[in-house]
Structure 1
Amino acid sequence: MSNEEMYKELSDAIVSCKNDAVEAAVEKARGQGIAPADIIENGLAAGMNEVGILFERGKLFLPHVMMAAGAMEAGVALLEADMPKDAASKKLGVIVNGTVEGDVHDIGKSIVSTMLQSAGFEVHDIGRDVPLQVFIDKIKETDADMVGMSALMTTTLQGQKDVIEMLKEQGMRDNIKVMVGGAPATQAWAEKIGADCYAENASEAVAKAKELLI
């Protein structure tokens, strides 16, 4: 089986939301000698991204997404032993991730957190409907390198801008990268409020985080 076919099998296993299918596919990929990072990025994460797209289209529902996220975690756990010790312990950066106050949408943000974690970042997911000051407090507490803010409603987008203003007021803005996302957010919006980047989906969030932090 080619690596591409193996990645497809891993991705399909995640979309099936079944732990045993994911674990079997991971073991098979390990047996083929595929590197753990490639199994995660090209197989499991690709599947998780597909799950996110299907969820947005109404083809999968929240329980499926949570099961897929659990299956991905199980798959990643199997690979941890194979990762070079320094790679497992050396984090690429510290990221605080949350959905802004007034917004209870959680799923896209949770997928982003899972994939950033799998990619080697230390992620502090502070949940949904997060008061803006909590973002600031968590950034200070964890000495974060990046903050990710999701907003799924046009009425809550303003919260992303407000956090950036708060970071400036406290003299913290130069020391932290800001990523924004969510259905109403756009590249133009990110530029307007002075964010460092906009990510349309979880794969893009990982790519942008690597670009800015590594």
Structure 2
Amino acid sequence: MSDSDFDVIEAIMKLKEEEVLSWVKDQLALKTPPHEIMNQLSNGLEELGDRFSAGDCFIPELIKGGNIFLNALDVTRPALEASKTKFERVGTFLIGTVKGDLHDLGKNLVAITLIAAGFEVIDLGKDVPSSRFVEEVGRLKPDILGLSALLSTTREQQREVIKAMKAANLRDNLKIIVGGAPVNQKWAEEIGADAYGADAIDGLRKAKTMLGKVG
């Protein structure tokens, strides 16, 4: 099959990692601009995300697709860094799972989805105290802060982080998205978050909307 016949978006949707990575290497050898390669890969992961939102695939497939994207990004990274035309950054997104919560599968899925869409993502990991969120927001000045909580006993920490941002005078210029199994729109409104992300794809769409990057 020639490169002109190969559909990389379809290959990502079918989780054909070896074929995707081979295509990336071929495109780099052909001097295809690396940002064009990344745009194609992003489109593939976005379509996979749409299938997930529609219930046509499940979390393991979405994680696999995200890992394919990250591996392809690693192959493309040297050319991206050397290119005068940079892969367009949508915004900066700081993310972490709140204090007392050791679950990070959902957070990791959100991070992969955001990276694929062009966000610069800084992942603080899990069991992150309010003070660390405050420190990193003050230092990095992200556009958006994402707070994940997977337990009903830890979601209260999302409220505490938002309170801490206000106390540190960091809230006004910061957008905050909350998510996780015990979280919903009503909770997001109650604690003063800007948005609730029902899943990785919904979180991405909310983030892009808040930054005026829809479309």
Q: Report the TM-score, using the length of structure 1 for normalisation.
A: 0.77
Separation (CA, whole Å) in 2 of partners of 1:49 and 1:110 = 18
Separation (CA, whole Å) in 2 of partners of 1:49 and 1:25 = 23
The structural deviation recorded for 1:39 is 2.2
Separation (CA, whole Å) in 1 of partners of 2:167 and 2:106 = 29
Equivalent residue for 2:176, pick from 151, 175, 178: 178
Whether 2:190 is the aligned partner of 1:189: answer no
Provide Cα deviations, 1:37-57, integer angstroms capped at 9, x if missing partner.
Answer: 5523331244467689634xx
**Residue 54 of structure 1: aligned partner:** 58
Equivalent residue for 1:120, pick from 115, 118, 121: 118
Equivalent residue for 2:12, pick from 5, 10, 13: 10
**Residue 107 of structure 1: aligned partner:** 105
Aligned-residue Cα RMSD (Å) equals: 3.5
Separation (CA, whole Å) in 2 of partners of 1:28 and 1:208 = 35
Contact kept, 8 Å, 2:96 with 2:147, in 1: the verdict is yes
> CA distance change for structure 1 residues 71 and 144 in 2, over 3 Å: closer, same or farther?
same
Q: The residue matched to 2:146 in structure 1 has which SS?
A: strand
- Report percent identity of matched pairs: 32
Separation (CA, whole Å) in 2 of partners of 1:130 and 1:169 = 18
Separation (CA, whole Å) in 2 of partners of 1:112 and 1:40 = 17
Equivalent residue runs for 1:132-143 within 5 Å? 132-143=130-141
**Residue 23 of structure 1: aligned partner:** 21
Q: Report the TM-score, using the length of structure 2 for normalisation.
A: 0.76
The structural deviation recorded for 1:82 is 7.2
How many residues of Structure 1 are paired with residues of Structure 2 in the alignment?
Answer: 201
Could you tell me which amino acid in structure 1 is paired with residue 179 of structure 2?
G
5+ residue gaps, structure 2: none
The structural deviation recorded for 1:150 is 0.5
> CA distance change for structure 1 residues 85 and 204 in 2, over 3 Å: closer, same or farther?
farther
Separation (CA, whole Å) in 2 of partners of 1:151 and 1:192 = 15
Contact kept, 8 Å, 2:97 with 2:104, in 1: the verdict is yes
> Which structure shows the bigger proportion of residues in helix conformation?
1
5+ residue gaps, structure 1: none
Q: The residue matched to 2:145 in structure 1 has which SS?
A: strand
Separation (CA, whole Å) in 2 of partners of 1:165 and 1:82 = 39
Equivalent residue runs for 1:140-179 within 5 Å? 140-179=138-177
